[in-house]
């Protein structure tokens, strides 16, 4: 009954899944942006070898991040099962990882790791929902939905790469001495 209420209930008129999403987002924001563990996690994601040389136990950080991700995925899976009132082990939640990747990329997370924010992922998830609703409202066939989402991921990766190159070129120009700039 508690899980069913968490999946389908309301708190002050707001759907409980949304309330739980916001609570988890706030907790994870503090973990990622205001704790030493979050700094370690971002450092390991950006450059695992450099993080290891700086004294971070990278194996422990990686293992714990997978444990936390698995725990949050399990909670979400249970709530999703109660929300849909059915579970089909072979197909339940099929391709949801694609939605998660697309939401993260749209939210500004780098696929190479070490960059991103919880707020960005929430915005990316909202954009994915809007994209999914638009696809349904326009009557686009279900098979093309994955092509469109794949295109969104591809566009996000290309944009991420272009931004990285531009930032690297800009840093290189700033690092030049005045004599080198004159040449």
Rounded Cα distance between 37 and 45, Å, is 12
pTM of the entire structure? 0.71
Q: Can you name the residues that pair with 11 across neighbouring β-strands?
A: 14
182: alpha, beta or left, given left = phi > 0 and alpha = psi -120 to 50? alpha
Per-residue pLDDT of the chain (183 residues; tens, 9 = 90+): 677 777 777 778 888 888 888 888 899 889 888 999 988 988 888 888 888 888 889 999 999 999 998 998 888 888 877 777 777 777 766 777 778 888 888 887 777 777 778 888 888 888 888 888 888 888 888 778 888 888 877 887 788 788 888 888 888 877 766 666 665
CB-based burial of residue 114 (10 Å sphere; 0-12 exposed, 13-18 middle, 19+ buried)?
middle
């Amino acid at each position: 009954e508690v899980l069913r209420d968490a999946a389908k209930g309301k708190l002050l008129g707001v759907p409980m899944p949304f309330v739980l999403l916001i609570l988890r987002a706030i907790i994870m924001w503090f973990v990622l942006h205001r704790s030493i563990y979050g700094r370690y996690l971002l450092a390991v994601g950006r450059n695992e070898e450099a993080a290891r040389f700086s004294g971070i136990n990278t194996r422990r950080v990686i293992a714990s991040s997978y444990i936390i991700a698995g725990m949050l995925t399990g909670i979400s899976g249970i709530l999703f099962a109660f929300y849909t009132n059915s579970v089909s082990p072979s197909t339940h939640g099929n391709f949801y990882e694609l939605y998660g990747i697309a939401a993260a990329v749209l939210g500004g997370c780098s696929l190479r790791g070490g960059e991103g924010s919880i707020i960005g992922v929430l915005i990316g998830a909202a954009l994915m929902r809007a994209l999914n609703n638009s696809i349904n409202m326009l009557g686009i066939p279900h098979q093309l939905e994955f092509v469109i989402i794949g295109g969104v991921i591809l566009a996000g990766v290309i944009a991420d790469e272009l931004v990285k190159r531009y930032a690297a070129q800009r840093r290189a120009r700033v690092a030049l001495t005045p004599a080198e700039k004159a040449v």
